[in-house]
Structure 1
Amino acid sequence: MPLLTILHQLPFKKALAWVTIALVSACVTPYEADFKQQPESVVVQGFISNEPGPYIVQLVRPANYSFQGYSIGIQGAKVYITDDVGEREDLVETRDIGQYKTLKLQGITGRTYQLHFEIDGKKYESKPELLREAVAIDHIYHEPFRSIDPITKERQLGGWHVYVDTQDPDERGNYYRWTAMHYKYLLTTCTDCWDIVRCLGPDCIKVANDALNNGRKIARQEVATVPVECRNKYYLEVEQQALSREGYLYFKTIKQLLENTGGVFDVTPSAVPGNMSCLTDPDEQVLGLFGAVGITRVGYVVDRSNAERAACPPVLPYLPPGGIPPPCIPCVESLYRTGQKPRFWDL
């Protein structure tokens, strides 16, 4: 179901949660609310990590809250990032409206980073964020699960759950988030190209802390579910992120917003614990998060050759009458497609 359709069916607080998740992947995102008018606000999404940049910061403003409402990217902002040793980098505006990126900045573990920006003379900033040391993934593995066929009512292979094990450090106060992306090779483009399949929704927000198992092994943490589909290899890249407490609470609350059923005890949008504020007007509500994240990334392949399905048909260009293939399509870089070979593709 398209995200816009989903948003049209949601109340304001859940629509806000969907926008926040989608901002991780897009700069201009459908936004809808039941209320006709809400206080104007800025929504921020950005991260710096121990991995090479560029790092992206997205600034949007929710449009009027009507059925056709959208979040509109903010142009012309002055955006920069500072650290605790006095270094600063100004971000440059990209062709994507509301998106700003670094050019040279490299996140360094142990340093503290802060986002600053100015819009129409009003100044905003994040709380300082410590870039924590990435925690290694000790083991990644998958296990099959079975489900009931809705037509035959028989139990069949439903797919595979992918898990990781990791060792929590001895010190208290560690916070984690796990994400996974699937890359699929395309044969209809002029050059090598991969589709990037990202997971959205409450089931895709996987966070944890060490309050109950400090210094112990975190075992069987589910990070992805692989569908059966057909018999071929399924390539994944899994991230294990070391978050700040603020980052952990932010994603945990977003997950809660999406899972709530609309009862009287639902979390309100203002309760989403971001780390942004307006220096010029402290009463202005600023939504979103600028985070510093220590990332461990691994590649993994689920071999589906023994699946109870047929082999995947080859993806061939369409041949019109006469047998002359159409021109190939270019591989256009985006958040959902890339011409850069995935790091672990040759696993």
Structure 2
Amino acid sequence: MKRILLLLGFVFFSLGCAEVIELENDRIGGQLVIFGRITNGGDGNIVNITRTQEDGQAPLDISGATVVVVDENGNREQYVEIGPGTYELNRSLVVGQVGGTYHLEVMVDGKLYTSSLQEMMPAIADDELRFEVDINEDISPTGASTRENVIRVFATSTFQTLPEEFYLRWKMEEVYTTFGISLPRGNFPRYTPQQCYVTNELSAQDIFLVDGTAVRNVELANREVAVRKMDFSFERKHYFNIIQFGLNEESHEYWKKLQSITTRQGSIFDVAPAAVPGNFTSSDPEEDVFGFFEASSADTTRVFTTRNDIPFAFVDPCQVTREEFFLMTRVPFECLSCLVEEEIVEAECLFCSLLPNSSLRRPSYF
């Protein structure tokens, strides 16, 4: 059985040249990094907390933190940890609104980290997405010509008004369903295949920013925002979402610095390549803390493909041969672990929730 490959598309999106900001990199790891936001909707109210490691090592997720958002009226609500280092706001006491002001308080290992006060600004562009089925031609490292079937996604953003000053950021993501494999019912009567929803960010290496003070056109037209190689994930409904965030000037400046770094170094989720000043301070005046908490309105536009849009057939990476099916019936009764240990089935094919970025929670728009 071949191992499942999650293929992320390359993303290309250009909204102007960013100034290259040179930053010193003398860190050896151990710094806390807090990324998070509150929005005016039910999605995106997430805080991620990690600690940097030595060069070449992935950041360490920080569990057990106390994360509280405070609004201008003193209302407080704690984010709930939904996964290692990931915290979500239920919006039962604090609900983000355009024009409101908010700050974040995070307690980790007895230290308090506090963000600056953030005002929520509006998202003012109307976005539209479309896609095309295409063939991507390239040259491999060995000099061979390659061809692969891809989906290209294009965005057009229209401004009904052009304020003198505004700042926007966009994020691209894909969402699709996947299922656990079916097993012989007589041998595994209590096994029920999972249905999972996989969400992959397609803009981790590209930060899409607009400084409204430099925009005088009422339309940013037909920009290619994602190129995704087609695979079995397109056998069912496959969403592409573009999420527009309204930023204040402080938030825009922070993302602009990250934009300069990721253009040269890679994803914002990689090991921090430089000390990027954010808007958090520590109760320990000697400690540096990275990251940013923003209050940003969010507006999502979606387009989806169905099987009818894709003129190709794909092989299910969890498809079993007749021989493998026979071997399933020979393992001990209901021994799921035997299927994995004897390399008959991949664990991710049994339980799709093991796939990166997958969830059993069904998005409201599916």
Name the TM-score, length of structure 2 as normaliser: 0.67
Cα root mean square deviation, aligned: 3.9
Match of 1:240 in 2: 244
Q: CA deviation at 1:168?
A: 5.9
Residue 313 (structure 2) aligned to one of 296, 311, 314: 311
Q: Which has the larger radius of gyration?
A: 2
Q: Paired residues, what number?
A: 302
Q: Which residue of 2 aligns with 1:102?
A: 89
How much has 1:99 moved relative to structure 2? Answer: 3.7
Q: Name the amino acid aligned to 2:36.
A: G
1:337 alignment counterpart = 358
**Structure 1: gaps spanning 5 or more residues:** 3-33, 262-266
Counting only pairs closer than 5 Å after superposition, residues 265-344 of structure 1 correspond to structure 2 as 269-270=274-275, 272-281=276-285, 283-302=286-305, 310-313=312-315, 317-318=319-320, 320-322=324-326, 329-332=350-353, 336-344=357-365
CA 1:215–1:41 in structure 2 vs 1: closer, same or farther (change >3 Å)? same
What's the CA shift for 1:113?
0.7
TM-score (norm 1): 0.70
| Conserved 8 A contact 1:52-1:106 | no
Aligned partner letter, 2:210: A
* 1:218-266 deviation line (CA, Å, top 9, x unaligned): 33344322335588664212211112222222222222112237xxxxx
> Alpha-carbon deviations, 1:112-160, whole Å to 9, x = none?
1101123445432111111122335243223566653548859987642
Counterpart CA distance in 2 for 1:40 and 1:340 is 33
Q: 2:102 aligns with which of 109, 113, 116?
A: 113
- Which runs of no fewer than 5 residues in structure 2 stay unpaired? 7-24, 182-192, 266-271, 337-348
Q: Pick closer, same or farther for the CA change 1:333–1:249 going to 2, 3 Å.
A: farther
Deviation at 1:295, TM superposition (A): 0.8
Letter in 2 for 1:269: A
Paired AA for residue 175 in structure 2: Y
Alpha-carbon distance in structure 2 between the residues aligned to 1:97 and 1:269 = 24
Superposition map of 1:10-159 within 5 A: 38=28, 40-52=30-42, 55-63=45-53, 65=54, 69-92=57-80, 94=81, 96-103=83-90, 104=92, 105-143=94-132, 147-150=136-139, 159=151
The aligned residue for residue 261 of structure 2 is: 257
Superposed displacement of residue 274, structure 1: 1.5
Distance 2:297 2:254 in 1: 16
Indicate the residue corresponding to 1:17 in structure 2: none
Larger RCO: 1 or 2 (CA < 8 Å, sep 6+): 2
